Amino acid sequence: MNNTIIGHNLLIELKREAQKKRLAGGNIYADKIVSDIFTNAEDIVHKNVVRKDKQINWSQKADNILTSKITGYPIMLLTLGAILWITISGANVPSAILADVLFRFQDVLTGIFMYLGAPDWLHGVLVLGAYRSLAWVVSVMLPPMAIFFPLFTLLEDLGYLPRVSFNLDHIFKKAKACGKQSLTMCMGFGCNAAGVISCRIIDSPRERLIAILTNNFVPCNGRFPTLIAIGMIFGAGNLALHLQSAAVAGIITGMILIGIAVTFIVSWTLSRTLLKGEASSMVLELPPYRRPKILAVLYRSFIDRTIFVLRRAVLVALPAGAITWLVSNVYVGEISILAHTANFLDPVALAIGLDGFILLAFILGLPANEIVFPILIMSYLSSGYMIELDSLTDLQILLVNNGWTWLTALCTMLFCLLHWPCATTLLTALKETGSKKWSFLTFLIPTGVAFLVCFIVAQSARLLGLAP
Amino acid sequence: MGDSSVSHRVLREHFGINTKENQKVIALAGNPNVGKSTVFNALTGLRQHTGNWPGKTVDNAQGIFTYKNNSFLIVDLPGTYSILARTVEEEIARDFICFGQPDVTIVVLDATSLERNLNLALQVMEITSRVVICLNLIDEAKKKNISIDYAGLEQELGVPVVPTAAREGIGLEDLKEEVYQVGLGFKKVQPRKTHYSPEIEEALAALIPKIQDLGWGEFLNPRWIALRFLDGDEKLIDNIVRHLSLKAGQSLNSEVEIAL
């Protein structure tokens, strides 16, 4: 009996001593032990194994460049920038053609309604509301998606994404989060709800929660086209056409980098406050590079992603367009219900560089982020400035007429990037965490960050006299 | 010897493993996709059954084979890249090798990517010395023009290395022979010690004597325990205390039984 008690005291003392050593050494032991074991393994292999394997050598060389500390990051940035540039410069023309065709068909529809003598409100709800927002969703969002998704899927198929994960691992480690979080972020590019589900691959509950809480900071399918659309309409100003695409690609790349930076900052903060703990190590197997199967890539990106997202957008856009038209055409006193609400939101919205309509569009967009921009256009269109819109240039005029400056565009993009996740993502977070508290934080943290960042940007720009 | 085999049996029962008198227990470890199941099936044939690890939703397969009139119970551990207990699977594999006290642990390695695979073998060798390396997929390695110095590898690692191509049935008899030799204590093995960076070795040197004072020595390797203290795996330390008291309590009971 005595023996066990002595043993027990000794154990406690030992634990304390080890902890002291760990803290004094800056907590590097766990990492060092893992990398030392690998060094031993490499050493043994080096002595006893001879490889004449050409394919391995080739992929090793590629890995040395793609995952090098010096060239890894620039290549990642360039790849992202290049994909966005192709997307934006490629989407311009089809977007314009689609808008042209779809709005010409709107005139046909209007003609039919007039011929049949349909009442004005019916024409308003169905054509000016439902059809027009559908037309906007398709013409603004379809072309970028149809170009971006195949390119992204191509990278996935090549085996580049695990390398990205590898590159980002040590930054995540600094934030005391799991390196696999970058894989869940890649999923988030597709859909944040899917991103939240994919957090299951992270084994430590602490790190999994961090990944769930921050997944929203990568722009999903629904928000990405909004960013691109605003970037295309507004970002490049009066630059020459070929420079425009590059400038917009630069802006969007910047947005994604901001999202990633915020992910790190929030993860870092969470690891030191609500979710204290150490990062765990993991083995990431880099799969061999493969020649992508072009047909499979096209199928996956068109059917699984483009059509899926578009379908969801259309399904939500139709009723949302109709409802938006209604609330903006039902008047209480002098102005419409929509304008009343927007006016109510105006003081808060202006403080963070938006206006009441923009904030309202984000709130109405809670069911699906895809419809934020169409709702916004609808509310501007039905609130006085009834100009005929049939191209992206007209869209810019509409926004400028409604008081948009470069600061409005920037703050709208930032808010779009950082604000609360869509309802589906929130429900998924509830299902995955099983906790109301954590799901509420999934809503609260991005919302807080979005308001804070936009407030700081808007106020400093105004203080410096850069924008009205 | 008799006493310790009783307490081993108690510990194994805790993992849902029941051995017969004189039956040797073999743990089968390896990375995912290295042909571990093929080796398992080839050794046991149809004499196997599957269930779950107690309290976990991870598959546990066990099988029996006989070699030179000795019965061996072979336990298929979950496929893992390491046994640092970062995942449920890793924890199961680690706990069984550590507390289940298998008589032999076979580590199946993929000969076509040895660096990654050796990582696991080195970790296992830190816990237990009774290790046999099954170097699988040597046929694939040949196809890929990878030549491996088997004897050199064996000398370097200090444990038997058996080249196999389990799918073709190559090398399995040799594997059984080595398992028999090590498991029954005919062959003494001395696994290579993993070398750590100076700062780690320094910290280890300070901790190891104190760990030896705890008196866990005959049961667990003090160097390995010291490493776990350093990487802050407090859960394992608590686990050790729990298992030790289980072992002490149970062997006390069995002594009482014998006395009665």
**Cβ–Cβ of B214/A281 closer than 8 Å?**
no
Select from B171, B194, B217 the last residue of a domain: B194
Q: Are residues A247 and A148 in the same domain?
A: yes
Q: Would the pLDDT of A238 be above 60?
A: no
B153–A14 C-beta distance less than 8 A? no
Phi, psi of B186 (to 5 degrees): -75, -30
Q: Which of A113-127, B121-135, B216-230 has the lowest mean pLDDT?
A: B216-230
Contact, B86 vs A282, CB < 8 A?
A: yes
Classify residue A57: in a domain, yes or no.
no
| Residues B251 and B188 occupy one common structural domain | no
Residues 6+ apart with CB under 8 A from A400: none
> How far is B241 from chain A, CA to nearest CA, in Å?
9
**pLDDT classification of A236: cutoffs 50, 70, 90:** low
- Closest-CA residue in chain A for B248? A4
Judgement on whether residues A313 and A255 belong to the same structural domain of the protein: yes
Residues in A closer than 8 angstroms to B153, CB to CB, are 44, 48
- Asked, for residue A141, whether it belongs to a domain, the answer is yes
Nearest to B195 among A15, A29, A40 (CB): A40
User: Tokens 């992929």 sit at which residue?
Assistant: A59
Q: Pick the residue from chain B with its C-alpha nearest to A55.
A: B144
Domain boundary among B194, B229, B252: B194
Mean pLDDT in chain B? 82
Q: Between vectors from CA B91 to CA B89 and to CA B97, what angle results, nearest 5°?
A: 105
Give the tens place of pLDDT for each residue, A308-345: 767 777 777 788 778 888 888 888 877 888 888 888 99
> Distance between CA A221 and CA A215 in Å, rounded?
13
Q: Do A454 and A258 meet the contact criterion of CB atoms below 8 Å apart? A: no
Of all residues in chain B, the one with the smallest CA distance to A13 is: B210
Backbone angles phi, psi at B67, to 5 degrees: -140, 125
- Residue B4: is its pLDDT beyond 80? no
Cβ of A41 within 8 Å of Cβ of B148? The answer is no
A18-22, A206-210, A341-345, A425-429: which range is least confident on average?
Answer: A18-22
| Average pLDDT score over residue span B4-17 | 66
Q: Give which of B68, B69, B88, B70 is closest to B78, Cα–Cα.
A: B88
Residues of B in contact with A59 (CB under 8 A): none
| Contact yes or no for A219/A227 (Cβ under 8 A) | yes
Q: In chain B, what's the furthest Cα-to-Cα distance?
A: 65
Secondary structure letter of residue A288 according to DSSP: P
Which chain B residues contact residue A45 at CB under 8 A? 114-115, 118
d(CA A196, CA A187): 8
Cβ-contact B81, B120 below 8 angstroms: yes
**Bigger pLDDT: A184 vs A133:** A184
Residues near B15 by beta carbon (within 8 Å), at least 6 away in sequence: B53, B54, B75, B95, B96, B99, B100
What is the DSSP code string of B158-224?
Answer: SS-EEE-BGGGTBTHHHHHHHHHHHHTTSS---PPPPP--HHHHHHHHHHHHHHHHTT-TTTS-HHH
What's the half-sphere exposure (Cβ side, CA atoms, 13 Å) at A189?
19
At A390, the amino acid letter reads: D
Q: In sequence order, which residues have a C-beta less than 8 Å from that of residue B107 and are 6 or more positions away?
A: B29, B30, B120, B121, B124, B131, B132, B133, B134
Average pLDDT over residues A25-54: 81
- In this structure, the answer to whether residues A103 and A220 fall within a common structural domain is yes
CA pseudo-torsion sign A212, A213, A217, A222: positive
Which ranges in A177-223 belong to alpha helices (H)?
181-190, 192-198, 205-214
Considering the domain architecture, whether residues A26 and A77 belong to the same structural domain is answered as: no
Residues, chain A, total? 468
Nearest to A49 among B84, B119, B146 (CB): B146
Dist. CA A227–CA A248, nearest whole Å: 10
- Start-to-end CA distance of chain B, whole Å, equals 21
Tell me how far apart the alpha carbons of residues A381 and A398 are, in angstroms, rounded to a whole number.
Answer: 8
In this predicted structure, the answer to whether residue B259 has a pLDDT above a threshold of 50 is no
Could you tell me if B9 and B116 lie in one domain? yes
> Cβ of B196 and A32 within 8 Å?
yes
Q: What is the mean pLDDT of residues A81-85?
A: 85
Highest mean pLDDT: which range of A42-46, A71-75, A413-417, B110-114: A413-417
Amino acid at the residue A229? A
Domain that holds residue A23: 2-48
Q: Does B204 touch chain A (CB under 8 A)?
A: no
Decide if pLDDT at B257 tops 60.
no
- Residue A21 with chain B: CB contacts under 8 Å: 203, 206-207, 230
Same domain, yes or no, for A15 and A132? no
Inter-chain contact B207–A17, Cβ cutoff 8 Å? Answer: yes
Q: What are phi and psi for residue B60, nearest 5 degrees?
A: -130, 115
Q: How far is CA A58 from CA A54, A55, A159, A286, A326, in A?
A: 6, 5, 14, 14, 62
Question: Are A364 and A444 in the same domain?
Answer: yes
Query: Do B190 and B203 belong together in one domain?
Result: no
Asked if B213 and B181 sit in the same domain, the reply is: no
Are the beta carbons of A346 and A383 closer than 8 angstroms?
A: no
Residue A61 falls inside a structural domain: no
Could you say which residues from 110 to 149 on chain A have a Cβ atom under 8 Å away from some Cβ of chain B?
A: none
Instruction: Please give the residue of chain A at the shortest CA–CA distance from B227.
Output: A33
Contact in structure between A196 and A429 (CB atoms under 8 Å): yes
**Which burial class, exposed, middle or buried, applies to A287 when counting CB atoms under 10 A from its CB (0-12, 13-18, 19+)?**
exposed
Q: Other CB atoms closer than 10 Å to residue A70's CB: what's the count? A: 8
Alpha-carbon gap: B85 to the closest alpha carbon of chain A (Å): 10
User: Across all residues in chain A, what is the average pLDDT?
Assistant: 82
Q: Is the pLDDT of residue A210 over 80?
A: yes
Q: Is residue A60 part of a domain?
A: no
Query: Is B257's Cβ below 8 Å from some Cβ in A?
Result: no
Residues 184-243, chain A: which have Cβ within 8 Å of B? Answer: 203-204
Same domain, B156 and B33: yes
Q: Which residues of B touch A285 (CB under 8 A)?
A: 81, 116
| Length in residues, chain B | 260
Q: Read off φ and ψ for residue B33, nearest 5 degrees.
A: 60, 40
Residues of A in contact with B123 (CB under 8 A): 37
> A41 and B116 in contact by Cβ < 8 A?
yes
B160 and B242 both lie in a single domain? no
Whether A85 and A44 map to the same domain: the answer is: no
A42 and A75 fall within a common domain: no
What CATH number corresponds to the domain at position B162?
A: 3.40.50.300
Domain holding B122, by residue range, is 2-194
How many domains, chain B?
2
Residue B108 has a CB neighbour count (10 Å cut-off) of: 28
Q: Quick one: B116 and B41 in the same domain? A: yes
A244/A202 same-domain check? yes
Choice between A356 and A166, residue whose per-residue pLDDT is larger? A356
Q: Are residues B190 and B200 in the same domain?
A: no
What's the rounded Cα separation, in Å, for the pair A377 and A137? 10
Adjacent-strand bridge partners of B132: B106
Helix-, strand-, coil-residue percentages of chain A, each rounded to 5: 80, 0, 20
A53 found inside a domain:
no
CA A334 → CA A337, A340, A387, distances in Å?
A: 10, 10, 21
A287 and A175 in a common domain: yes
Same domain, A350 and A425: yes
Q: In terms of domains, do B102 and B151 share one?
A: yes
User: Is residue A139 included in any domain, yes or no?
Assistant: yes
User: Do A29 and B157 count as a contact with CB atoms less than 8 A apart?
Assistant: no
Measured in angstroms, the CA of B232 and the nearest CA of chain A are apart by 7
Confidence of residue A459 (pLDDT cuts 50, 70, 90): very high
Asked if A280 is an interface residue toward chain B (Cβ–Cβ < 8 A), one would say yes
User: Could you give the number of structural domains in chain A?
Assistant: 2
Alpha carbons A72 and B117: distance in angstroms, whole number: 26
Domain boundary among B194, B217, B235: B194
Q: Quickly tell me which residue has 């290049």 as its tokens.
A: A82
Is the domain of A40 the same as that of A141?
no
pLDDT at B3: 46
Weakest-pLDDT range from A266-280, A307-321, A376-390: A376-390
All residues at 6 or more sequence positions from A210 whose CB lies less than 8 Å from its CB, including other chains: A177, A178, A181, A267, A270, A271, A275
Tens-place pLDDT, residues B47-100 = 778 777 777 767 788 888 899 989 999 999 988 888 886 778 888 898 889 888
Mean pLDDT, residues A89-104: 83
A41 CA to chain B: closest CA distance, Å?
5
Of the candidates B71, B62, B52, the one whose C-alpha atom is nearest the C-alpha of residue B28 is B62
Instruction: Indicate whether A428 belongs to any domain.
Output: yes
Instruction: Supply the pLDDT for residue A214.
Output: 93
**What tokens were used for A147?**
């170009």
Q: Tell me phi and psi for residue B133, to 5 degrees.
A: -90, 125
Give the residue-averaged pLDDT of B153-161: 92
**Cα A197 from chain centre:** 16
> What is the rounded CA–CA span in Å between residue A379 and residue A268?
39
Q: Could you tell me which chain B residue has the CA closest to the CA of A50? A: B147
CB contact under 8 A, B115 and A41: yes
